[in-house]
A and B are shown apart, each in its own frame.
Chain A
Amino acid sequence: NARRKMCPEAAEKPTVIKARAGLLWLQKTQTVQDENVNGEYGLIINGHSLAYALQKDLKLELLRTACMCQTVICCRVTPLQKAQVVELVKKYKQTVTLAIGDGANDVSMIRAAHIGVGISGQEGMQAVLSSDFSFAQFRYLQRLLLVHGRWSYIRMCKFLRYFFYKNFTYTLIHFWYAFFSGFSAQSVYDDWFLTMYNMVYTAVPVLALGLFDQDVNDRWSLQYPQLYSPGQLNKFFSKKVFVRCVMRSCYTSLVLFFIPWAAMHDTVRDDGKDIANYQSFALLLQTSLMIVMSAQMFFLTYYWTAINQFFLWGSLAAYIAITFTFLSNGLFFMFPTSFFFIGTARNCLNQPNVWLTVFLTCLLCTLPVVAYRFLLIQLYPMITDKVRYKAQKEGLPTPSPYRPPPRRISTRRSSYAFSHSQGYGDLVTSRKFLRLKSRPSLFGQKDSPVVENQPQVYRTITEEVEDSQS
């Protein structure tokens, strides 16, 4: 009935859309679509009623009605029912759910949700032990989501994009070379470079990117919660982004191979001796690849700490040092069959045309990216770009307003599960629905049976003892 009043033109039975999702479209999903409502509503349901509402025939109806509301409050529920509500939302809505709680009664809910957050404190460590994240005060949730969660998403996406890009480029060059080496699986690099590339030369800078990168300051992140939306909309890493990354790798590998190929064609050194030999070609390609990857990292990193600088330039220096060492006389004398690239660096890298080729290749790989990104920022700026631009002009944002001392809030026991945008606290604080509490509260309170048996000595209000359900 309530639902019919809220949304008169909706169908009687909830429409469930069966689809396939997932990486290779292997997972079957069922989605209940969101519907428009004429007005803003809230729903309060207690444990007794929820027991009926979660039955098979009614649960979709419950979900549909609940999703039409801005806020849903379930009070006096058992731990199992908490978990069931979370699972209902998880199953029929393709959203990410977060559950936060602090007591042992919240453990099942925390484990059921995608992300479980435990609050450590007076209720004990049960919630903390079973959660993905834990902290001591409820207000830290804001920082968890808006600052650290967002940074984590951005770092992960950048890391993945760069990792795929560098490995695809590195491998596709072999593919192009195969056409010119009789398809004999001849690698176009020195064997040592093949080993060291992923382990030593490019491993550490990307790790530093994934650990330290920030697009905006934490204060700016808190000031502009809209920055959170690209993460919700999957903007930075999806199938489309992955395909774009692969295309870019294709282009880079084509440039990285064919420019040296054309430049080395029938060329010799400036004293007439050979330079178009396999070892010099390999060294040329390796060097261009390393410089291009370093340049890409340079343009990808937004937050240059000293550690990032050290790792990036250090990797490049390590490449140069290791290459010169492995191509030197000393190691060759010890292991002639392993280091047979001897002399290549000295004979190849002192040629101006080699360096001109390297330079051309690197700029031809990097400049389109820079131009594309610049044009994108000018024509279709994302919220991130706008805030970064503002942050650069203004420095630190205005300080956050004074927060009340935390002791008062942490005495309240509470647990919450939510998966939608913030609802209206005013509706609840108007005390139209609550019978018991003399103190206004922002969210509903759920007391566990365990707690009710304890004397509430440090609460400033008295509470009528309710009969707890079995």
Chain B
Amino acid sequence: MYSMSMWNVGRGRKKKGRGMTGKGELLHPGKDLSVLLTSLFLCSPVDCAIKAMVKHEQEEFPNRPDNTAFTQQRLPAWQPILSAGIVIPGFVLIGLAFIGVGVGLFITSRDVQVLELDYTGAVATDPCYKCSDPSIKNCECTMEFHLDTLFKGPVFIYYGLTNYFQNQRKYGISKDDNQLYGDLDTFKSPASECFPYGYDSKSKPIVPCGALANSMFNDTFRLYRMVNGSKKEVPLNGKGIAWWTDQNVKYRNPNETPLINAFNGTVKPINWPKAAYELDTTDVYNNGFINQDFLVWMRRAALPNFRKLYRRITKDEYQAGLPAGNYSLEISYNYHVLSFKGKKKLVLSNISWMGGKNDFLGIAYLVVGSLCVIMSIVMLIVYAKFKFPEED
């Protein structure tokens, strides 16, 4: 930790001409000079040089370590001290600021509207119970709900899953980033992390490979508003649901037009109904790997209960929000979660500057702020009564 040179303060070097032979102590400076002068005039060149060197070294103390601020630990420094004048007002200020922020956050969060619809179909009375059997394919079910007040826009539709561990390690690394970046070489030879979803039973490479892509959520929803007894579809916007960097930088389609040619000799993931190049045949910027639903799914969730953005309601008369009334949700139930006791739900939510509805942050700020204020009062009392005396 410390430099060893500091310990060797004034370590003298033994000279042959000193000490044991009894020549005695160091010559005094005055004596040195006179001897030097006489020797300069009276001695041979070699003798002169040696004597001059010896005296020079004796005068210079060559082994003395540096006497700089750095080596002698005298660097100028700021030495703060935890004094009452800083701590107590600091706590009060922080406490009051936190309480203010907490109140703002809490009010904002309370104003966010959220509607959750669980459509797993676990119980017999659920509308989607008939679809929950995994052997049934292409099942459709309908859920009805009612809005009492205007659901302020823009409205965001999320699908939520519970008990779904997208953050599991092996599941999360089971993908090939090069494939998803459009590297055609890796189409034929997927990365080994994709195992066992790299090749199908006939040893043909799967594109996109891996468990993460293979388990893509494939339920679809249509929202209808009941107007005068008839169903009117609410247009859902599938654009702008994934991160801009995901769609434009991280994931790229291979450089072939038409896209289907790039996928020659490969097969689609086992659980997918359609291949990657058929995800959205109407829009070339939403097809292949840059399909927004695919991107949203590939951005794996941190926690086992999560929500992912499905659609936005931004068009035409719904820009101000969903008006009050009856609504009907038609679900194409393809994704089965009951085998691992998961749940599926559809969430309608609107947004504030702090994101979705989360009361925790507001409450936490309020609690911590009040604790700070209480602590500062306690510290003030302790300081006033028990200030330690200054004598040692």
Contacts and interface: CB of A to CB of B under 8 A. Distances in A.
B211 interface: no
Contacts of A275: 355
B101 A356 contact: yes
A136 B9 contact: yes
A353 B104 CA distance: 12
B169 A185 contact: yes
A184 B375 contact: no
Contact of A343 (B98, B101, B243): B243
A137 B10 contact: yes
A210 B1 contact: yes
Nearest to A377: B82
Interface in A282-307: 282, 299, 302-307
Interface in B301-328: 301-309, 312
Nearest to A298: B80
Interface in B339-392: 349, 351-358, 360-361, 364-365, 368, 372, 375, 378-379, 382-383, 386-388, 390, 392
Contacts of A54: none
A239 interface: no
Contact of A332 (B87, B249, B354): B249
Interface residues of B, number: 96
Contact of A184 (B12, B168, B246, B305): B168
B392 A386 contact: yes
A40 interface: no
B226 interface: no
Nearest to B18: A122
A249 interface: no
A53 B302 CA distance: 74
A273 B309 contact: yes
A304 B296 contact: no
B156 interface: yes
Given A180-B304, A273-B309, A342-B250, A156 B172 contact: no
Contacts of A261: 303
Contacts of B79: 302-304, 388, 391-392
Contact of B82 (A124, A281, A332, A374): A374
B386 A378 contact: yes
Contact of A458 (B2, B6, B24): B24
Contacts of B246: 343
B134 interface: no
Contact of B9 (A140, A278, A370): A140
B241 interface: yes
Interface stretch (B70-78, B122-130, B197-205, B257-265): B70-78
A353 B361 contact: yes
A337 B160 CA distance: 29
A264 B312 CA distance: 21
A148 B156 contact: no
A270 B352 contact: yes
B309 A135 contact: no
Interface stretch (A211-219, A313-321, A425-433): A211-219
B101 A263 contact: no
A216 to B, nearest CB: 9
A374 B244 CA distance: 48
A181 B303 CA distance: 7
Nearest to B304: A180
A187 B170 CA distance: 11
A128 B353 contact: no
A267 B243 contact: no
Interface residues of A, number: 106
A360 B364 contact: yes
A356 B365 CA distance: 9
B75 A212 contact: yes
Contacts of A436: none
Given A336-B177, A375-B382, A268 B77 contact: no
A233 to B, nearest CB: 17
A371 B383 CA distance: 12
Contacts of B75: 212, 305-307
A261 B302 CA distance: 9
Given A363-B368, A388-B81, A305 B76 contact: yes
Contact of B351 (A151, A272, A457): A272
Nearest to A347: B243
A388 B390 CA distance: 11
B354 A356 contact: yes
A133 B250 contact: no
Contacts of A306: 75-76
Contacts of B191: 337
A133 B1 contact: no
Contact of B379 (A135, A140, A374): A374
Interface string A356-393: 11001001100100110111011101010111111111
Interface string A235-273: 000000000000000000000000101111111111111
B25 interface: yes
Contacts of A392: 79, 81, 83
B392 to A, nearest CB: 6
B369 to A, nearest CB: 10
A263 B368 contact: no
A426 to B, nearest CB: 25
Contacts of A381: 388
A378 B24 CA distance: 59
Interface string A199-223: 0000000000011101000100000
Interface string A116-156: 00001110110010000111110010001000100110011
Contacts of A265: 303, 305, 358, 360
Nearest to B104: A356
Interface in B166-186: 166-172, 177-178, 181, 183
B392 A262 contact: no
B364 A347 contact: no
A346 B248 CA distance: 14
A238 B246 CA distance: 51
B105 interface: yes
Q: Which of the listed residues A155, A336, A393 has the most CB atoms from chain B within 10 Å of its own CB?
A: A336
A235 B280 CA distance: 69
B14 A125 contact: yes
17 contacts: A135-B9, A148-B7, A181-B165, A181-B304, A218-B73, A262-B360, A266-B160, A266-B305, A303-B79, A305-B77, A306-B75, A336-B183, A367-B91, A377-B388, A378-B383, A378-B386, A383-B392
Given A278-B167, A336-B177, A360-B368, 7 more contacts: A151-B2, A214-B77, A224-B392, A273-B243, A276-B306, A363-B94, A363-B98
Interface of A: 120-122, 124-125, 128, 133-137, 140, 144, 148, 151-152, 155-156, 159, 180-182, 184-187, 210-212, 214, 218, 224, 226, 259, 261-282, 299, 302-308, 329, 332, 336-337, 340, 342-343, 346-347, 351-353, 356-357, 360, 363-364, 367, 370-371, 373-375, 377-379, 381, 383, 385-393, 407, 454-455, 457-458
Interface of B: 1-2, 6-12, 14, 19-20, 22, 24-25, 73, 75-84, 87, 91, 94, 98, 101, 105, 154, 156, 158, 160, 165-172, 177-178, 181, 183, 191, 240-246, 249-250, 296, 299-309, 312, 349, 351-358, 360-361, 364-365, 368, 372, 375, 378-379, 382-383, 386-388, 390, 392
CB-CB nearest 10 A-B residue pairs:
A343-B245, A281-B302, A136-B10, A186-B169, A304-B78, A184-B169, A182-B165, A305-B75, A272-B156, A353-B354
